């Protein structure tokens, strides 16, 4: 199967690209949207590239790169009573929610703000800039991915 490209959103209060750089790898659990779940369960494969996006940040935007290191598997937190991601409709026998693992690739040490994404030629159709697009896991094209990586090369180094 051909490599795919993704944008995955996370709020900085929960997890950042700096956290991923420190940890090296993490599970991407807690997604409770059916469309995002389907992407993780059915489409994400080991080696797929990820734009790591800080949402509800100041500014919100892409902060680094990751890759899928483990394809979709059941989100065991969904059947753990008392856990913040518990869902009584999910069980080991019939898991409702899935997750993937991601591995660190690159920290931009800065943010490519959403406003920059909106004003960059070639990103006009990128889902994250579409009004009303709130999915935490969304596909991007290779061309969009490449443009964002090129934008990152313009972030001043600390």
Give me the DSSP letters along 30-41: ----HHHHHIII
Task: List per-residue pLDDT tens for the chain, 158 residues long.
Answer: 789 999 999 999 999 999 999 999 999 999 999 999 999 999 999 999 999 999 999 999 999 999 999 999 999 999 989 888 988 899 999 999 999 999 999 999 999 999 999 999 999 999 999 988 888 999 999 999 999 999 999 887 76
Non-local CB neighbours of 124 within 8 Å, separated by 6+ positions: none
Q: Which domains does the chain have, with CATH numbers?
A: 5-145 (3.10.590.10)
């Amino acid at each position: 199967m051909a490599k795919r490209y993704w944008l995955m959103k996370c709020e900085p209060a929960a997890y950042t690209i700096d956290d991923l750089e420190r940890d090296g790898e993490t599970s991407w659990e807690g997604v409770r949207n059916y469309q995002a779940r389907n992407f993780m369960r059915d489409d994400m494969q080991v080696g797929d590239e990820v734009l790591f996006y800080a949402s509800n940040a100041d500014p919100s935007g892409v902060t680094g790169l990751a890759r899928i290191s483990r394809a979709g598997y059941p989100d065991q937190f969904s059947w753990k009573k008392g856990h913040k991601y518990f869902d009584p409709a999910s069980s080991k026998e019939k898991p409702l929610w899935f997750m993937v693992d991601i591995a660190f690739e690159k920290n931009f040490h800065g943010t490519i703000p959403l406003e920059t994404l909106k004003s960059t030629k070639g990103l006009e159709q990128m889902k994250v800039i579409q009004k009303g697009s709130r999915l935490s896991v969304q596909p991007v094209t290779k061309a969009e991915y490449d443009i964002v990586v090129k934008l990152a090369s313009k972030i001043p180094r600390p």
